[in-house]
Chains A and B, each alone.
Chain A
Amino acid sequence: MNCKKAAMLISESMDKKLTIPNKIRLHIHTARCTGCKNLRRNLLHIRTASRHLALHHSDGEI
């Protein structure tokens, strides 16, 4: 698996359960690919930020 395909699966895994073979392939890839490991963390960072957005908007001076 290359990073381009891994990126799609990482994104997909945020919306639905991956098939077992895909899950295994992705796991093997991210175990040795720092870029893709970081991509997953970055996307989760963005997800958390999005969910917090309303609250931070209303926080005034943070």
Chain B
Amino acid sequence: MRPLLEKTRLPNTFSPTSLIPEELTKLRSDMLKFARLQLRDDSAAEDAVQEALAAALAGLKGFKEEAQLKTWVFAILKNKIIDTMRERRKSPIAWVEIDGISEGAIDELFDQNGRWHDDFRPSDWGDPELSFSNRQFWQVFETCLDRLPESSARIFMMREMLGFETDEICTELNISSANCWVILHRARMSLRLCLNERWFMRKGQQS
């Protein structure tokens, strides 16, 4: 791989081979982080990243901007992750149970009449772009994702990151649509709560 990396940069175009080793290492570690978050299995994540990079290198394309190259490489990685998830379905799945967020955890957000408790009533988070441009927000976002129970996190990511339709997720994971949807709803609610407590409420106190 090394000779490839040492190739001279083409003026104004970017391809995986035109990245300097430091950039490639950074890209690889970003990809790994992303794959680990979704697959929750280090060796499966390594494999997916390896295959995605190989496919990216094989498909040598020139991009005008480095950002386009990254978008493209990540698109390949997403497909690899989806493949891995599909493969898993063929082997017996032990993990698809509602394994964490209980009904009680959601119930306690509401009073006995089903109204929001004052402490949990959703507040205005302001302009999303403002949070997206803050690096710390993404760290908190990842922490909150990591705190979700395993199956909740997987279903949430399949829906919200990889863009599966809910029906597809149920079929892929071989669970009833009611179950699948309950897991997704609880995952959203608990992620919202975590982000609110760890980011949006704290921001409010600081300003």
Interface on A for B, CB 8 Å cutoff? 2-5, 7-8, 11-12, 14-16, 34-36, 38-39, 41-43, 45-62
Task: Give the interface of B toward A (CB within 8 A).
Answer: 26-27, 30-31, 33-34, 67, 70-71, 73-74, 77-78, 107, 109-110, 113-116, 121-125, 128, 131-135, 138, 141, 156-157, 159-161, 163, 165-166, 181, 184-185, 188-189, 191-192, 195-196
The answer to whether B159 touches A15 (Cβ under 8 A) is: yes
Closest to A52 in B: B132
Which residue from A3, A14, A54 sits with its C-beta under 8 Å from B161?
A54
Contacts A49-B131, A49-B132 hold; do A4 and B114 have CB atoms under 8 A apart?
yes
Docked CA distance A2–B107 (Å): 13
A-B contact pairs, 15 of them (CB 8 A): A3-B110, A3-B114, A4-B107, A7-B189, A14-B188, A41-B124, A42-B125, A49-B128, A49-B141, A53-B161, A56-B132, A57-B33, A58-B70, A61-B135, A62-B138
Chain A contacts for B77, CB-based, 8 A: 54
> Do B124 and A55 touch (CB < 8 A)?
no
Please tell me which one of the listed residues B27, B110, B123, B141 contacts residue A58 in the complex, with CB atoms under 8 A apart.
B27
